[in-house]
Chains A and B, each alone.
Chain A
Amino acid sequence: MNQNNTIPNKAIAILIIVALLVTIISTWVILGAIKTSSEKQFARTHTVTNSNGDVVLKVLAPTTPQNKVSTGQVLLKINSNI
C-alpha cells in the first residue's frame, strides 16, 4: 500500500459522483437560464432578420393590454311644441 494513499477509494468515488451531479445540475441551470432569457427577449417582440441574420425590423408588443377611449356626442335642442 502506497503511503500517499491517505484518502480512501470510497471517498474518491463519492467525490466523482458529486462532480457528476454538479455537472448535471449546472447544465440544467444553464439551459433554464437560456430559456428564460429567450422568453424575455422574444415573448414581447416580433423580429425580422435579413440573410446575414441581422435584425432589420423589430416590433415591440405591449407587455399588457392597453385601452384607449374616444368620446362622441349626440346633441339637439327641442323648443316648445306647436
Chain B
Amino acid sequence: MNMEFSNKTLAWLVVATIVVSLAGTLISVNRITQGANGLITFNTTGNATVSITTQTQLNFIVSALNFGVGQVNASVTTNYQCNMSLNKSNAGTFYRAGGCVNFSTTNAGGALTLQNDGNTFLNVSLNFSTNAAGFIGGGGAPNPLPLFKFSVSENESGSCFGGMNATMNNTYFDVVANQWIPVCSGSPGNNLLYADGSDSLTIGIFIGIPSDAQGNKNVTITAMGTS
C-alpha cells in the first residue's frame, strides 16, 4: 500500500496551516488587547487589594496676611515711610521700621504658608495680582516709591527636594504683577515634597508704605502646584 501523500494533499495541509496560524493570531491579539481587566479581583480569600489614586493638592494653610489698620507718621522718619514685613524668621510678629502708627503687631497663624496636601511631588510657582504701585500706591514727591516684596523659604526643613531656587531662598524680591515665578521647581527632581513634616513653604512679605498712600489695600497671591 502506497502511504505517500500526493502534492495536492500537501498543498491542502499547507493552506490549513496558514488558516490555523491566522486564526490563532486573531484570537491571541483579541484576548491581549482586551487588557488585563480583573487582575486585581482574582485574589483568594485573605488578600486585601488597595488602589491609591495620585492626588495633586496644594493649599495655603495660612492664607491671609493682615497688616491691620494704621497710618504713617511722616514726622517720625526722614524718608516719609513705614516699612513692615513678616517671614519665617519673624516668628509671627511683624517687623516694623519708620513711621508706622497702629497697624497690627502679629498675624493670625504667622506668615503665609503653603502646604502640599496631596500624595505626589509638586512644582510650585507663585503669581501676584498686582505690584507695589497697584497694591500700596502713593509715592509722590517727596515720598519714596511704595515697596512690595516677597521671599520664599522652607517652613519645614527639607520640604523643597533639591533645594530652593538658588536666589529665592529667604531673600526679598520685588513683586512683578501677573507673572508666574517658580519657587520650588524648574530643575529635575526639584519639587515640594508631600510627607508630613517636610511639605510646606513660607511666603514672606515686605511692604513699604509712603506717607501719601491711603485706603483699603488688597492683593491676591495664587500658588500653583503641578504634579
Contacts and interface: CB of A to CB of B under 8 A. Distances in A.
Interface of A: 2, 4-9, 11-12, 15-16, 18-19, 22-23, 26, 29-30, 33-34, 36-37, 40-41, 50, 52, 54-62, 65-82
B30 to A, nearest CB: 9
B24 A19 contact: no
Given A37-B33, A56-B50, A67-B224, 19 more contacts: A26-B24, A33-B29, A33-B33, A37-B35, A41-B36, A50-B47, A52-B44, A55-B39, A55-B43, A65-B227, A68-B118, A70-B223, A72-B63, A72-B220, A73-B218, A74-B67, A78-B72, A78-B215, A81-B74
Contacts of B220: 71-73
A45 B221 CA distance: 34
Contact of A68 (B49, B57, B212, B219): B57
A66 to B, nearest CB: 4
A4 B51 CA distance: 66
Q: Which DSSP category, helix, strand, loop or mixed, fits chain A's interface?
A: mixed
A67 B15 contact: no
Contact of A41 (B24, B35, B207): B35
Interface in B117-133: 118, 120, 122
B14 A15 contact: yes
Contacts, number: 212
Q: Specify which of A33, A62, A81 lies most central, judged by the most chain B CB atoms within 10 Å of its CB.
A: A81
Interface stretch (B2-10, B153-161, B163-171): B2-10
B57 A54 contact: no
A70 to B, nearest CB: 5
Interface of B: 6-11, 14-15, 17-18, 21-22, 24-25, 28-29, 32-33, 35-36, 39-40, 42-44, 47-54, 56-60, 62-75, 99, 101-103, 112, 114, 118, 120, 122, 135, 203, 205, 207, 209, 211-227
A60 B217 contact: no
3 tightest A-B CB contacts, nearest first: A76-B67, A4-B6, A26-B25
Q: Which DSSP category, helix, strand, loop or mixed, fits chain B's interface?
A: mixed
Contacts of B42: 54
Contacts of A71: 60, 63, 220-223
Contact of B103 (A54, A56, A76): A76
Contacts of A80: 71, 214
A44 to B, nearest CB: 9
Contact of A7 (B8, B32, B35, B203): B8
Contacts of B68: 76-77
